[in-house]
Amino acid sequence: MILNKDTAKKTAELLLQINAIKLEPENPFTWASGWKSPIYCDNRIILSYPTIRNYVREEMGKQVEALYGKPDVIAGVATGAIGIGMLVAEYLGLPFIYVRPEAKAHGRQNKIEGKLEENQSVVVIEDLISTGKSSLNAVDALESHGANIKGMLAIFTYGFDIATTNFEQKNIDLHTLSDYSHLTERAAESGYIKEEQLNTLMDWRTNPSEWKP
Ligand SMILES: O=P(O)(O)OC[C@H]1O[C@H](OP(=O)(O)OP(=O)(O)O)[C@H](O)[C@@H]1O
Ligand SMILES: O=C(O)c1cc(=O)[nH]c(=O)[nH]1
């Protein structure tokens, strides 16, 4: 999943530096899946920091090219990966589209926004993988439109078994810049996460779908 350990460490450090990692065990976050969680990784904040978004742009751009060459199109999963996906497309000089969670109820009623032709090769950019459901929903839409999905690159994954299984079942290749183990290692080393919080996270990580504060 991780292509480069240095990038995984550096990305984790940058996420901590911009306070993209939020810990609220007493007032848990509700995730897209409905799971309650003491942690939230808000990659959207990356866009507010030009130097850091340039780092992510370049690392993702280079990794896409190393893994898949230049696809016909880069697709971002809305909304979290519209900005990030656009940066990657720009870095590679490629067309960009994005995929909504659901088709619009008005206008052209599109689920896929932008120009996508049948049999075009597509690399999907996602900001974060928890269960993988949102990302694979986008893949389904693209495949229904006749796209040939080369693979997916995300900034961060929690590395849950359920995501691995979901991606394997759909036969989609997934790589990420960083992951939960690199993040918690750097966070513990730097003191961003205190020992008590680390214990909560370890407890949560054993059974995240059932965790309660
Ligand atoms: O792997 P999953 O369990 O599907 O969860 C991860 C998804 O959740 C977040 O999106 P969110 O639904 O919060 O919407 P947003 O991108 O519009 O912020 C994130 O951007 C991923 O797309
Ligand atoms: O699963 C989610 O909804 C989710 C988790 C997380 O840490 N960050 C995020 O943006 N979404």
> 131 preceded by cis ω (within 30°)?
no
Banded pLDDT at 43 (limits 50, 70, 90): very high
Q: How confident is the model at residue 149 (pLDDT cuts 50, 70, 90)?
A: very high
* Total count of domains within the chain: 1
- Residue 152 lies inside a defined structural domain of this protein: yes
* Mean pLDDT for the stretch of residues 160-164: 97
**Position 145 in a domain:** yes
Residue 212 belongs to a domain: no
Percent pLDDT > 70 in the chain is: 100
Task: Give the CA angle between residues 97, 100, 105 to the nearest 5°.
Answer: 120
Quickly list H helices, 145-192: 161-170, 180-190
For residue 210, is it within any domain?
no
In this structure, what DSSP letter does residue 197 have?
A: H
**What is the tens place of the pLDDT at every residue in 22-37?**
999 899 999 999 999 9
Decide if pLDDT at 101 tops 90: yes
Asked if the structure places residue 208 within a domain, the reply is no
Q: What is the ipTM of this complex?
A: 0.99
Task: Decide if 160 is inside a domain.
Answer: yes
User: What residue has token string 């994954």?
Assistant: 157
* Each residue's pLDDT tens digit, 66-99: 999 999 999 999 999 999 999 999 999 999 999 9
CA–CA separation, 26 and 196 (whole Å): 12
Ligand 1 centre to CA of 134 (Å) is 6
What is the Cα–Cα distance from 13 to 120, expressed in whole angstroms?
36
Distance (angstroms) between ligand 1 centre and the Cα of 181 equals 20
Give the model's confidence band at 174: pLDDT under 50 very low, under 70 low, under 90 confident, else very high.
very high
Average pLDDT, the chain: 97
Domain membership of residue 70 (yes or no) is yes
How confident is the model at residue 213, as a pLDDT?
85
Which stretch of DSSP H or E encloses residue 142? Answer: helix 133-144
- Is residue 80 lining ligand 1, measured as CB closer than 6 Å? yes
CA dihedral (188, 49, 178, 201) positive or negative: positive
Under the banding of pLDDT at 50, 70 and 90, the label for residue 131 is very high
Give the residue numbers spanning the domain of 79: 5-202
In a domain, 211, yes or no: no
Domain containing residue 30: CATH number:
3.40.50.2020
- SS3 of residue 17 by DSSP: helix
What are 108-115's contacts with CB under 8 Å, separation 24+? 111/141, 112/75, 112/141, 112/142, 112/145, 113/78, 114/73
CB of 85 closer than 6 angstroms to any ligand 1 atom: no
- Strand-pair partners of 96: 74
